[in-house]
Structure 1
Amino acid sequence: MRVFFVNQFALRPTDRGSLRHFFLARFLVENGYQAEVVTSDIHYNSRERLQWVSSSESHSGVMFRVIRGIGYKGQLSRLCNHLQCAIKAFFYLLRSVSSNDVVVGSSPQPFLAYSAYLAARVKRARFFYEVRDLWPQTLIDLGGLTRSHPLVRCMFFIERVLASKSEKIIVLMPLAEKYFAAIHGISSSKVVWIGQGVDCSAQVGRSVGRKPVGSYAEIVYAGSIGSANCISSLLEIAGELQGLAVPVHFSIYGEGPERAGLELKAAQLRLKNLDFMGALSRNSVLGKIAEADFAIALAHSSPLYQFGISFNKLFDYFLAARPVIFIGDVAKNPVAEARAGVVVSETSSKAVALAIKDFVAQSPEYLQDLGENGLRFLKANHDHKVTGQKLLDIISSR
């Protein structure tokens, strides 16, 4: 039996970013399965074209197959790229999948997941729907579109088909079963939560301790720089802290379409306590997180987050055992569940700045305990062997 993971933005272990599908596929290979990841050659975050020596590569027994697509910058060319990849993947899967195989269609964009379902149906293979993002609802809650918009209606149709026709729905948001029950009438027994998997055996350089008294506290953000990541709010918070003369410094690691505009805004605000550091390899950025005093994540105020979150950056923060500052109000917050930091649900930048001022003044022993709590939570719930076993259980259940 072969298991095909179809995700446009799945990455090889040599790439920079989340390795969810590599870890899942490798676990299956270690347990006697064959596994293949069907992906594209455009990085989801930087939008740069990734280099491939051929159309297929093997990494630790996992076969990666690349679907080459057009580059994109704007929304129209992005949509064209998504549709092109979906069509190419459909014909590749028709040639490759047999009735004994399993197809996991993932939805960082819904069209590719739909083409994976169609190919699986034609070949009479088993199909599992992995929900990375609640795309129609995301466009409504964060994108400002209405339910009557043609794109939203199209995505709701695709989501309804995939949810109803799949053998199981794999979700990353811990409360997503409520969404599928309310919107599509899907029984909670069909929905399986398999969170982000992390290699907890990775060696991460630990911080040697707090900086000398009188020095600043280093706060790291490591992740995408886009409209969904609230970096504009972070700049305003940094401005408030600068005005209060709180000795903190923010280092922002990552790339994204909003970076240039945010750097201009930081210059206009005359921020001396914040720098954009660019993107680094995962091992390098983990080292930077571990060397910092704190790590920070932010979330919009949105009804979308009533179903929980799956922020990759949080798992990197936990792995580096850093106390986390989380700004936002989300259900089943991992930082709160792990007791790994402080959750600030205030909306004004001044109130958030005051909360950060109080938090960074906590004792080193207390902050170290928070970091260790996050690491323990990660090992218990998100080690890649834990998530891999969950997937293996549902695949082998028939």
Structure 2
Amino acid sequence: MIPQEIIRRKRDGETLSADDIQAFISSLAAGRLSEGQIGAFAMAVWFKGMTRDETVALTSAMARSGDILGWADIDRPIADKHSTGGVGDNVSLMLAPIAVACGLAVPMISGRGLGHTGGTLDKLESIPGYAITPDATLFRKTVREVGCAIIGQTGALAPADGKLYAVRDVTATVDSIPLITASILSKKLAAGLQTLVLDVKVGNGAFMSERSGAEALARSLVDVANGAGVKTSALITDMNQPLADAAGNVVEIRNCLDFLAGRKKGTRLETVVLAFAAEMLASSGIVASPDEGKDRAAEALSSGKAADVFARMVHMLGGPSDLLERPDAYLVRAPHIRPVLASQSGWLRACDAREIGIGVIDLGGGRRHPSDRIDHRVGFADLLPLGTYVNRGDPIGTVHAADETAAEAAASALADAYLIGDSEPLLPAVISARL
């Protein structure tokens, strides 16, 4: 069938067959479609939506548009996790080595920052020498010998996704649940996973600010991934404040090292990391229940096994062998570091997490345009969680900036992002649902 006929049928609200969708995506991957045809298809899907079966077919076709990784030489369950993005969300950095220390293999294909949310790859580039795009041989060797490798998507994995997303980005069709679902899952299917756990965030710092939207996206992701043959579950987590106590690149790497060293106990971040580790272990059959998985993950963390896995992964992918022992020798600090002080006494009642993410971009720690260079040194650290009581003049966070002018502007923005009040707030649960 010719492409414009497929576009017409979707425009008119018809249900496309798997063969129609495969034909369209094959033409897209082969470069036989114009940008106008790709944009028209995306807009038709945005307006008319897709059934579950259509979305499964779209996801599978996009996954098959390039290489499909196989892991027959690895005798561990192959598992992964994906987050829809948030501020201070560095969960993947700690979760992958914890999962490996408990018996899983995790070939994690991650991305760069998107909008106001930070990207795992940008954070890892803070580590000197770390190869975020290793060749296939080194990637496979790292997963086989260490157990995990956190890298970027190569052009050989789900190339149709990259071509479709580039057009969606400039045609106001990014926020289509079927297209989001296919984009996320096509890369995961191409990675050869057996199980997948999804972190769908909701709140003012997430792409889905309303609970109904987050639930719809989580349900779509779970249904389609399972329909495509990957055992998948999702947790809906709160993003009404930064998850870690840092937002930026090198500051989140430092936060990761502190976490692996056991210095972040009792935090919201620990709750989320251990919950996802437990979900991965239970889904893969390593443990009988999430409760057992949480205990196993906590032991892997407290024993230092997870930290050892992270250190070996960093070294095998080109980073320093002693990063955990000598972080100051490798992780460059910003030249201007200043505390942000509470303007009044009271409880930290609310936070505009999105504005904190924008603040990182304003400091130079994110991109406004794809070609922008990132200053990995900058960001916010030592952020206090909501529900903390502060006295006037107490620090609520720290700005890391390239110059004094940027530091002053960022300090003002961070102070404005917090609401301080007289009563202790009632905060939402950090994990509100499982699908």
Structure 1-normalised TM-score? Answer: 0.33
Where relative contact order (Cα < 8 A, 6+ residues apart) is larger, the structure is 2
Structure 2-normalised TM-score? Answer: 0.31
